[in-house]
Chain A
Amino acid sequence: MKEIINLPVHSIEEEEYHINMGPQHPSTHGVLRLVVTLQGEIVKKVQPHCGYIHRGIEKMCEKDTFQQIIHLTDRMDYLSAHINNHAVCLLVEGALGIEVPERVKYIRTIIDELARIQSHQLWWSSFGMDLGGLTCFFYGLRDREHILDIFEESFGSRLLHSYYTPGGLMRDIHPNFQKRTKEFLKYFRKKIRDYDKILSGNIIFTERSKGIGTMSKEKAINYGVTGPSGRGSGWACDVRKKFPYALYDKVEFREVLRDEGDTYARYMVRMDEMRESMKIIEQLIDNIPEGDFTAKMKPIIKLPAGEYYQRVETARGELGIYCISDGNKTPLRMKFRTPSFVNLGVLDIISRDMKIADLVAIGASLDLVIPDIDR
C-alpha cells in the first residue's frame, strides 16, 4: 500500500501537452479513451476514461433469472465468453449444492481451455499489429478460425455462445467435437512455431518489449493485476491452481511464471499458456465419460437468501462474481470483478517515462478487452 500512497501526483507542466488516444484509435482495441500527457514523445501520465461502452450489465442482471444472466456475461469479456458463463454456472451450482455430472466437467474444462487458446491467439494477433507487424494479425486470425469452427459446430455460434447453463450444458457436444479438437491441436502445434519465428525471436520485437513497462511483483499484488499479466511479474495468482474448479485439480499443468515483469515476460507467459492449455486438452479429450449433459434442475432457479462469491480464471485474469440473493428467482445484486478493469489501473504507473510507442505495446501486453472494463 505504501507505494500507492507515495505515488507522485502529476500536474501538467510547461512543455507538456495532452493527447487523446481514443475513443477512436487503432490501438485501444475498442472505445477506451486514454488522455495521455506527453513531453515530446515521453509519456508523463495516462488517464484512462471508461464508460464509452457501459451497458449496465450488472443492473440488467437484477431483472434476469439465472439462466438469462448467462447471455449477459457473454458480452463482458467476449473473448472468454465460455469462462464467464462458467463462473455464473459455478455460482448457482455452488449455492444450490448441485453436483454436475462428470461428463459436464470434462466438456467444460476442454472448452474453457479452447476459449483460452483462441483468446490468446487473438491477443497475439493484435499485439503484433500494435507493434506494427500486420502479418501477425492474419496468421493469428487464420488459426483462431479453426477453434471458432469447433465452437460453431457444437454450439451454433462463433463468439457469444451461451452454451453453459446452471447445472450443465445447453445441449450435448457434437459427435465431431473430439475429432476436430484433436485435428486442431495437431495443426496448431505446427503453427505456433511460426508465431515464435515471426515475433518471439525477432530482434526488433525483443528490443521493443524487453525492459518496457516493468511491473514488480509488489506492484502487481498492490494493484491486483491478475492473469497472465500478473504472472509475468512472478505472482502465482492462477485461480485454476489456487481455487480449483471443474477438473483443474485432476489435470496436470504448469502455472507459467516469469520474474521479469516486463512486456516481454507477459508475452512469453501467454505463449506458454497456449501450450499448457493444449496439454490440458490432450489429457482430457480422449477420456470424456458417457453420461448426461446436464444435472437435474428445476425450471425456476431460486438461490437461498445470502451472499455468494465465485471466481474463475478467464484468459485475462481473475473474474469474480459477487451475488446477493434474497430468495427470489432473480438476484438482488450482482457485481462482477472483471480482470480487464483492474488490470487497466496499472497502465498509468508502468507506462510513465516511456515512449508513446511503448504505451501502445504495454497496453497491448495487458490484453485489455474494453467491454470487460465498462460492463
Chain B
Amino acid sequence: MAFNIYDFTSFNQSIDQALYEWLPPFWALIVEMTIIGLVFLLAYAIVGLFLVYAERKVCAFMQNRVGPNRVGPYGIFQTIADFIKLLMKELVYIKNSDKLLFNIAPFIVIIASFMAIAAIPFAKGLHAIDFDIGIMYVVAVSSLGVVGVLLAGWSSNNKYSLIGAMRSGAQIISYELSVGLSLLTIIVLAGTMQFSQVVEMQSTGWFIFKGHIPAVIAFLIFLIASTAETNRGPFDLAEAESELTAGFHTEYSGIKFAFFFLAEYMNMFIVASIAATVFWGGWMPFHVSGWEGFNHVMDFIPPLVWYFGKTAFIIWLMMLFKWTFPRLRIDQLLNLEWKYLLPINLVNILFMAFIVLMGWHF
C-alpha cells in the first residue's frame, strides 16, 4: 500500500542484521537494548521538557499572558534551565521519614511511565516492542505509577502528603476501570489488542469514525478518565495545591521532585498517544474511502507528523480542561466515576458489541 513509503521496518531490520553479523548474538542483543534504551531515554527527556514548556505557553495564552519568554527565543530553553536548576538543588532529608521508600518512590513513578512508552507505535515499524496484548500491557503498566505515589505520600511523614496519596489511590483505582472499559469498547470493534494491528485496521478510516456513536462516547470517557488517571486538573486531587500545598510530593526537592514532575507530563503524553492510536488512527493518515487522489496526498505526510499532531491535539484538550475548570471534590470525583462513567461505559460496550454483531459500523 501507498503509506508504506515511510516504513521503518526494513530500516530496523537492516540494523538488526548488521549487529548480529558483527557481534555474537548475546552482545548484539545487549547493544540493541542499550541503543533502544538510550533513544527512548533521550526522547523521554526531550518530550517531557517540551511538554512542560508547552503547558506553560498554552496556559499563558489562555490567561492573556505571554508565558516564559526570557531564556532563548520565545523562552524555549526555559525548561532546560529549570531542569538544570532542579538537578543542582539540595535533596532535603526528611526527619523520621521512611528513607528507603522515600527514595524509591520517584523511581517507581518514572519507571512506570517509561515502561508504558515502549509499546506505543510512533510509525510503521517504529516501536520498541509489539505485544499481541499491547493495549492491556500499557493499561497495566501505567497504573503501576500509583504505587510510587502512595509510597511517596506514606514515607514523607507528612499529613498533607498522606492525604494526597490516599486520594490518589482511591482515584486511580476507580478511574482505571473506566480507562480499561473504554479501551475495551474499541477492542470489541477491532478484535485485537495488538497496537500495530489496531493502527493497521484504521487505514480505511479511524475508529472514531468507524465506530461512530459508541466510539465517540468511549473516546469522551477515555479522555475524562485518563485525565483523572494522570492526576491532572480538574482531577488533580492528589496535588490539590490550594488544599494540600503540593499533596504527595510536598516533601520532595531537587531531582526527585523533577522525576514526579516529568512523570506527570509523560503520563499525559502516553495517555494522549494511546487515545490518538486507538481512536484517531495513530500514525495512520486521514483516508476517505473512494477518494484515491486525496488519500494519496495524505500518504505523503510522514506518519510521525500525523502521530504527533494527533497527540498534540489531545494534549491541548487536556490542558484546556486543566486551565478552565475548578477542581472536583473527592466524593464528587468518585460519584462521577461510579454513578456516571462506569454505567454508561458498560452500556456502551454492550451497544458496541451489538453494532459489531449487526455489522452497522463502517
Q: Do the two chains bind? A: yes
Residues of A within 8 A of B (CB): 17, 19, 25-27, 41, 128-135, 138-139, 142, 198-199, 202, 204-205, 207-208, 355-358, 360
Q: Is the CB of B63 within 8 A of A356?
A: no
| Contact A41 to B234, CB < 8 A, known contacts A132-B240, A135-B59, A138-B63 | no
Nearest Cβ on chain A to B329's Cβ, whole angstroms: 5
Of B62, B237, B243, chain A has the most CB atoms within 10 Å of the CB of B243
Shortest C-beta distance, A131 to chain B (Å), equals: 4
Contact A41 B330 (CB under 8 A): yes
Known: A25-B245, A41-B163, A357-B243. 18 other contacts (CB 8 A): A132-B240, A132-B325, A132-B327, A134-B323, A135-B324, A138-B65, A198-B324, A202-B325, A202-B326, A204-B326, A208-B328, A208-B329, A355-B331, A356-B243, A356-B244, A357-B327, A357-B329, A357-B330
> A40–B272 Cα gap in the complex (Å)?
33
Q: Which residues of B contact A129 (CB under 8 A)?
A: 242
With known contacts A27-B243, A131-B242, A360-B242, A355–B326 Cβ distance under 8 A: no
| B66-119 with Cβ < 8 A to chain A | none
Do B326 and A208 have beta carbons less than 8 Å apart? yes
Q: Kindly state the separation between the CA atoms of A19 and B245 in the bound complex, as whole angstroms.
A: 12
Q: 9 tightest CB-CB pairs across the interface, nearest first?
A: A132-B327, A138-B63, A131-B326, A133-B326, A27-B242, A357-B329, A132-B326, A130-B242, A135-B323
Q: Smallest distance from the beta carbon of B246 to chain A beta carbons, Å? A: 9
The answer for the CA separation of A202 and B327 in the assembled complex, in Å, is: 11
Q: Which of A41, A135, A207 contacts B332 (CB 8 A)?
A: A207
Task: Report the minimum CB–CB distance from B68 to chain A (whole Å).
Answer: 15
Q: Is the interface of A mostly helix, strand, loop or mixed?
A: helix
Sampled A-B contacts (8; CB under 8 Å): A26-B242, A26-B245, A132-B241, A132-B325, A133-B234, A135-B323, A142-B64, A202-B325
Output the residue of A17, A26, A142, A205 with the most chain B CB within 10 A: A26
A356 to B285, CA, bound (A): 48
Q: How far is the CA of A55 from the CA of B79 in the complex (A)?
A: 41
Cα of A288 to Cα of B241 in the assembled complex, Å: 46
Chain A CB within 8 A of B233 CB? yes
In the complex, are the beta carbons of A355 and B241 less than 8 A apart?
A: no
Query: Is B279 close to A, CB under 8 A?
Result: no
In this complex, the interface size class of chain B, counting residues with CB under 8 Å from chain A, is: 20 to 34
A25 CA / B159 CA spacing, docked (Å) = 14
Q: What are the residues of chain A within 8 A of B237 when measuring CB–CB?
A: 357
Kindly state the separation between the CA atoms of A176 and B245 in the bound complex, as whole angstroms.
44
Given contacts A132-B242, A207-B332, contact A138 B64 (CB under 8 A): yes
| A358 / chain B contacts, CB cutoff of 8 Å | 329
Q: Which of A17, A133, A202, A360 contacts B243 (CB 8 A)?
A: A360
Chain B residue at smallest Cβ distance from A207: B332
Which residue in chain A gives the minimum CB-CB distance to B237? Answer: A357
A-chain residues with CB within 8 Å of residue B176 when the two chains form the complex: none
Residue of B nearest to A142 (CB): B64
B299 partner residues in chain A, CB cutoff 8 A: none
Alpha-carbon distance A198/B245, docked complex (angstroms): 24
B55 to chain A, nearest CB (A): 12
- Interface readout for B223-260 with A: 1 if CB under 8 Å, 0 if not? 00000000001101100111111000000000000000
Nearest-CB residue, chain B, relative to A209: B326
Cα-based distance from A207 to B330 in the complex (angstroms)? 12
B160 at the A interface (CB under 8 A)? yes
Q: Which residues of B contact A207 (CB under 8 A)?
A: 328-329, 332
Separation of A356 and B162 alpha carbons in the complex (Å): 14
* Complex interface: chain A residues within 8 A of B63 (CB): 134-135, 138-139
Q: Which of A129, A139, A204 has the most CB of B within 10 A?
A: A204
- CA separation between A51 and B234, bound complex, in Å? 34
Instruction: Chain B residues near A198: list those with CB within 8 A.
Output: 324
Which B residues are in CB contact (< 8 Å) with A135? 59, 62-63, 323-324
Complex Cα distance, B241 from A129, in Å, reads: 9
Residue of A nearest to B322 (CB): A134
Nearest CB of chain A from residue B115's CB, rounded to whole Å: 30
Q: How far is the CA of A234 from the CA of B87 in the complex (A)?
A: 55
In the bound complex, residues from chain A placing their C-beta under 8 Å from that of B328 are 204, 207-208
Would you give the shortest CB distance from B158 to chain A, in whole angstroms? 10
Residues of A within 8 A of B323 (CB): 134-135
Q: How far is the CA of A130 from the CA of B327 in the complex (A)?
A: 9
Contact check, A132 vs B236: say whether CB atoms are below 8 A apart. Answer: yes
**B297-322 interface code vs A (CB 8 A; 1 in, 0 out):** 00000000000000000000000000
